[in-house]
Amino acid sequence: MSKLTVDQKSVKGLFQDSKASFLIPDYQRPYAWGEVECKTLWEDLFVFSFPNDNCDQFNEDDEYFLGPIVTFKNDDRKLEIIDGQQRLTTLMLLLRAFYNKLSHMKDQNSQAMKQDIEKCLWRANNFGAYQKDDLKIASEVATDNDKEEFIAILRDGSADNMKSRYAKNFKYFEGQIVDFLNNYPSYFAYMPARILNNCVLLPIEAESQDAALRIFSTLNDRGKPLSDADIFKAQFYKFYKEHGKKDEFIEQWKELDSIASDVFHPIAGTPLDELFTRYMYYERAKQGNKSTTTEALRKFYERDSYAIFKKDETLNNIMILAKFWQDVNLQDSERFSQEILRKLFVLNYAPNGMWTYLVSVYFMQNHTVDGSLDDTKFGKFLDIITAFIWSYALTNPGVNSLRTPVYAAMLNIVNGQDVTFSENLFDEDRFRSIFANYIFSNQRTVTKAYIAWWAFTFDKQELLSLESSFDIEHIFPKARQQKENSLKDSRSIELLGNKSLLEKRINIRASDYRFADKKKYYIGFTTSKGEKKATEVVELIELANKLSDFTENEIKERNNMILDRFVEYLKANNLLALPNQ
């Protein structure tokens, strides 16, 4: 069992300890607190120190808990901060701001507080003089380009001409202290005194980095917790440091973080967490694991003491995967053919994110040394997963049910077998029936998925930009039906036959007009104020050029065309069960 040292301490007791030597290590995240967090901290400390705006109502036995600090002592005998970095950094900035003001005050209480803060910020030399270059805290955060400003502020007490978060927060505290002094001139020294003596932290010193990380993972506090990827960075850092490649790792991690931030925008977790999730499915498949119960990201990687991160190829593999998704996101025509980019565009409108895991596994298994894929085989793979996922979304709604066939497919990929979904073929009659009765409302992600696929069944449709914003267009306007009730079957308004992708800028203008008036927005026109560009959706331009009106007959005819074409797509990908099969 890991040994822990846990001892509640006041701010003064923690920072004035002669052995205090805190280090924010390379693998930590950059300082992230802004004015919102600093304002909350200041207001909390003020209310605690001056209950009801009255200095005399303070109870000397009261304590204000600032939270835990998780550390471990590294080989240089410094306390590496695993949790509490944001809090400690901000407290140091606050104390330095108080010190500046106290330095200009001559009363006995202020001078006593000034000396107390000196002991918190700096170490004394052999003659008892405090050395402003010898700070109680240091930062080596590899990805924090502003850490030198933090050190300079603590050393010099000035943030002039600085624009970092450190500088902004320091200036914020300076402003609050000036206001405080103006309102409570006789009691000024009491607030820093109460912060030092009555605000407490819970330092938890673990015997190792691993133990500290385990403790951290169980704690919940008001700070900004490390993400899974931050924990992984610590493990990688440890591995590369032991192999004398620390600087190489830091540069590679910076690049990885930059790529992930540009490419991934997950609803939950960080961009790097998303990248590690996509790679996890490749490692999971290699292990032969097709269980539909997926472990949490950190739980998966921490198995066998993070053994995956102790392989030379792992970080390189993750970088290769990141650059693949970067090029997908950039629609890189040098890396991918136009046909592949068209298929990837459609997949970006998939009803769920499972396709990204499938494609990640496929890429990792099949890429060549230079990161390329066989264009024909990759295109065939994209077609079959599109056809399958789109169909499964109707016949077996819910992403959980999709896991069984998809996880099995991942195993086929790493075993060098074709992905066929042969155990989950679709019955044509049942599929047609479900499609015909399905309500393709705009709120359902599957609706946009199908109309995106349909748009690219037209040979003349050129690649659309992933950066463009597309809405779902009711070709026969919904507002017209609600006003005139002119459709014989009110359900026709929500049929796929009445829907198309359309750029948001055009959809906003054209949405409620009759088809005869919409046409010019589809085709484009010129006014005295300039050109109104046409849509890039080819089929809408063809409809506008061919039809004078878009009626219920056109809706149903187009709906049947979409269904028939998709069934043909299923047949082409061998996803339809034979009769009596």
The DSSP string of 59-82 is: -TT--EEEEEEEEEE-TTS-EEEE
If one counts the domains in the chain, the total is 3
Considering the domain boundaries, does residue 42 fall inside one?
A: yes
Residue 120 has pLDDT above 60, yes or no: yes
CB atoms within 10 A of CB 363: 21
pLDDT tens for each residue of 480-490: 766 677 788 88
- Give residue 163's pLDDT: 93
Confidence check: pLDDT of 121 > 80: yes
The answer to the question of residue 320 being in a domain is yes
- Of 483, 506, 479, 498, the C-alpha closest to 553 is 498
72 and 208 share a domain?
yes
pLDDT at 220: 47
Mean pLDDT confidence for 35-61: 93
Give the per-residue pLDDT at 223: 46
Same domain, 397 and 521: no
Torsion from C-alpha of 280, 285, 288, 293, nearest 10 degrees = 60
pLDDT tens string 508-552: 776 778 888 889 999 988 877 778 899 999 999 999 999 999 999
Q: In this predicted structure, what is the pLDDT of residue 221?
A: 45
pLDDT at residue 507 is higher than 50: yes
12 plus 136 within the same structural domain: yes
Same domain, 189 and 254: no
pLDDT bracket for residue 225 (50, 70, 90): low
- Phi, psi (degrees; rounded to nearest 5) at 287: -80, 0
Q: Let me know whether 86 and 184 are in one domain.
A: yes
In-domain check, residue 440? no
Distances from the Cα of 487 to the Cα of 482, 501, 518, 554, angstroms: 10, 22, 18, 12
Give the least confident one: 76-80, 410-414, 428-432, 560-564. Answer: 76-80
Split at pLDDT 50, 70, 90, the class of 501 is very high
Q: Are residues 290 and 214 in the same domain?
A: no
Instruction: Output the pTM of the full model.
Output: 0.77
Structural domain includes residue 211: yes
Domain, as residue range, for 549: 445-572
pLDDT tens track for 308-347: 999 989 999 999 999 999 999 999 999 999 999 999 999 9
CA of 290: how far to CAs of 286, 294, 387, in Å?
10, 9, 21
**Mean pLDDT, residues 424-448:** 95
State the CB neighbour count (10 A cutoff) for residue 366.
16
Domain contains 425:
no
Does one domain contain both 211 and 265? no
Instruction: Note whether 74 and 208 are same-domain residues.
Output: yes
Cα(424)–Cα(406) distance, integer angstroms = 10
Longest CA–CA span in the chain (Å) reads 97
In this structure, the answer to whether residues 205 and 279 fall within a common structural domain is no
Q: How many other CB atoms sit within 10 Å of the CB of residue 243?
A: 12
Mean predicted confidence (pLDDT) in 360-369:
97
pLDDT at 387: 98
In a domain, 431, yes or no: no
At residue 228, the pLDDT reads: 87
577 in any annotated domain? no
In this prediction, residue 7 has a pLDDT band, given cuts at 50, 70 and 90, of confident
Task: Please check whether residue 523 lies inside any domain of the structure.
Answer: yes
Among 49-63, 202-216, 455-469, name the most confident range. 455-469
pLDDT reported for residue 230? 85
The percentage of the chain sitting over the pLDDT mark of 90, rounded to a whole number, equals: 71
Taking only the tens place, the pLDDT of each residue in 186-198 is: 889 999 999 999 9
Is the pLDDT at 222 greater than 60? The verdict is: no
